[in-house]
Amino acid sequence: MVYCPKCGKKFLETPESCDFCGEIFQEENRFNKGIKIFDTIGVILAVISLILAYYLRNNKNTTLLEVLFILIFFIIMFMFLSKRVRGYVQSLFIRLWFKGQKTKQCPQCENLVSDDKFCFSCGYKLENVKGYYKLGGRFNPVYVELNKNYIRMFKTYSTRYETHRLEPIEYKISDIKDPEINWCEARLFTSPCLKFSYDLKEIILPYHPRMKPVLEELFPNLISTEVGGLINWFINQNKTKITILITIFLILVVGLNYYFTAKTELSLISTSSEIPNLEVTNSSAYRMVYGPNNIIITGNVKNNGKKVLKYVQVYCVGYDSAGEIVNQHSTYLNLYKDSNSGEILKPGETAYFEAHVDDYNHQIVKYKVIVYQDTFWMENS
C-alpha cells in the first residue's frame, strides 16, 4: 500500500502515476526497486552464511582464512537484517541515489523518502512538519516532532539489537502556554530543555539547539536562555551533585592508583656471579598487593671484564621466613643485539633483567640472585 506524495490518495500497488492529481511516481518506483534489490542481497547473504556455517561445522581442516571469510559474511548479513544498521545504509543509499534531495524523514513511519506533501509509505501529511529530532543517548532516545499544529514526543525502549518507539504524546500548539528554553534538573546533570504549561501542568521536553529556529517560528513569545557552551553547562549544574560526583571520581582515581601500584618490598639475601668480572647492581624485588601471585625481581648486571659475553642468565630464588626455598626462576639479560654476533654484553656495559617468581601462597619474604652462563647454547652455537 502506497500514497501519492502530492495529494495523499491511497493505492494498493505502486502505479506509474496518480489518477487523481497526475503525479508521476518515477522516483518512488526507483526507490522501491532499489530497496527490493537491497533486501534480496540481504536474503542471499543470509543463505550463504548458513551454508558456510554448516561447512565450518563439518570440516575439521578449516583454515583461519576460511573462518575470517565466514565471519565477514555473518557481519554483512547482520548489516542487512538489523533495523538500525539498515537505516544508516538506506540513508546513505538515498543520498547517493537521489543526489541528497530526498532525505527528509517522516515522523510517523520514519520513511526516508518523504520530502513531498504526503509520505509515500504511510500517507502522513508532511507539509506541516517543521522538524523531527532524535534526542538523548544511544539507549532509549527520545524523538520529538515539531509540527505547525502540535508537538509530538516519542519515547522509546531498547532491546539488544533494536530501538522501539512507543505511541506519541501530543501537545497542541494552541494550548501550549509560556514556552521557555532553559536548564532542567535530570538524574545526574542539569541539561537544556523545552518547558511549557499544558492543561495546568508543567511539561518538560528534551531540547537541542537545532530546534531553536523552528520553536521561534512556532512561538513568537518564546523565552530563551543561553544553553550552549561548556561554561554555561558547568555554571548551571547542581553544585551539590557536581561536588559529590567529583569526590567519587577522585576517590576512584586514588583507589585505582593504589590498586595498580601498591607493592610490598622484599629483602635481598645476596647476589653472586659464576662468571668472573660480572657484578649485580640495583637489585630489588616486590610483590604487588593487588595483582598477580608472583614476585618481580629486577636489577642490572655490569660487565667489569675485558671479554664480550653471550648467553648470560640470571637465576632468582625466593625464600620463606624459615630460609626454605619456595620457588625459583631464570631469565636472560636484556642484551644488545649485534647483527653478526647476536645478543652480547660488551666490556663496561650494563644490562637489565626482570624475573617473575611464582608465589601463590605469598610465602616469599627474601630472595637471592645468581648470574651464570648458559653452557648448552655456548656449546651448540
* Model pLDDT for residues 103-145, shown as the tens digit of each residue: 567 888 877 665 678 888 888 888 889 989 888 766 778 999 9
Cell digits for 246? 567529583
pLDDT value for 326: 93
- CA 218 from chain centre, in angstroms, equals 38
Q: How far apart are CA 148 and CA 381, in angstroms?
A: 87
pLDDT value for 74: 67
Q: How far apart are CA 369 and CA 273, in angstroms?
A: 8
pLDDT value for 194: 93
pLDDT value for 106: 84
Q: Is residue 101 part of a domain?
A: no
Burial class of residue 82 (count of CB atoms within 10 Å of its CB; 0-12, 13-18, 19+) = middle
Which residues make Cβ contacts (< 8 Å) with residue 128, sequence separation at least 6?
147, 148, 149
- Dihedral, 110, 114, 115, 120 alpha carbons, nearest 10: -150
Instruction: Tell whether the torsion through CA atoms of 59, 65, 66 and 68 is positive or negative.
Output: positive
Supply the range of the domain harboring residue 345. 263-379
Q: Is residue 234 part of a domain?
A: no
Sequence-distant contacts of 8-13: CB under 8 A, at least 24 apart: 8/117, 8/118, 8/123, 8/125, 10/123
Q: In what order do the strands lie in the sheet with 263-265?
A: 263-265, 278-288, 294-303, 350-358
CATH of the domain at 275: 2.60.40
Q: Is residue 119 part of a domain?
A: no
Which residues make Cβ contacts (< 8 Å) with residue 195, sequence separation at least 6?
178, 179, 180, 181, 182, 184, 202, 203, 204, 205
Q: Is the pTM of this model over 0.75?
A: no
How many other CB atoms sit within 10 Å of the CB of residue 276? 8
pLDDT value for 120: 81
Q: Is residue 29 part of a domain?
A: yes
Q: Is residue 374 part of a domain?
A: yes
pLDDT value for 294: 86
pLDDT value for 10: 84
Number of domains in the chain: 2
Q: How far apart are CA 138 and CA 163, in angstroms?
A: 9
Q: Is residue 150 part of a domain?
A: no
pLDDT value for 377: 55
pLDDT value for 31: 66
Which residues make Cβ contacts (< 8 Å) with residue 211, sequence separation at least 6?
131, 133, 144, 146, 194
Q: Is residue 311 part of a domain?
A: yes
Q: Where are the alpha helices (DSSP H) in 59-196?
A: 64-81, 83-97
pLDDT value for 88: 64
Q: What angle do CA 256, 259, 261 make, to 5 degrees?
A: 105
Q: Which of 37, 56, 81 is the last residue of a domain?
A: 81
Q: Is residue 285 part of a domain?
A: yes
Q: Which of 64, 81, 98 is the last residue of a domain?
A: 81
List, for the chain, all residue ranges whose pLDDT scores fall below the cut of 70.
26-32, 34-35, 38-39, 42, 53, 56-70, 73-104, 112-115, 137-138, 161, 336-342, 375-381
Q: Which of 55, 81, 107 is the last residue of a domain?
A: 81
Q: What angle do CA 138, 143, 147 make, to 5 degrees?
A: 160
Residue 203 DSSP SS3: strand
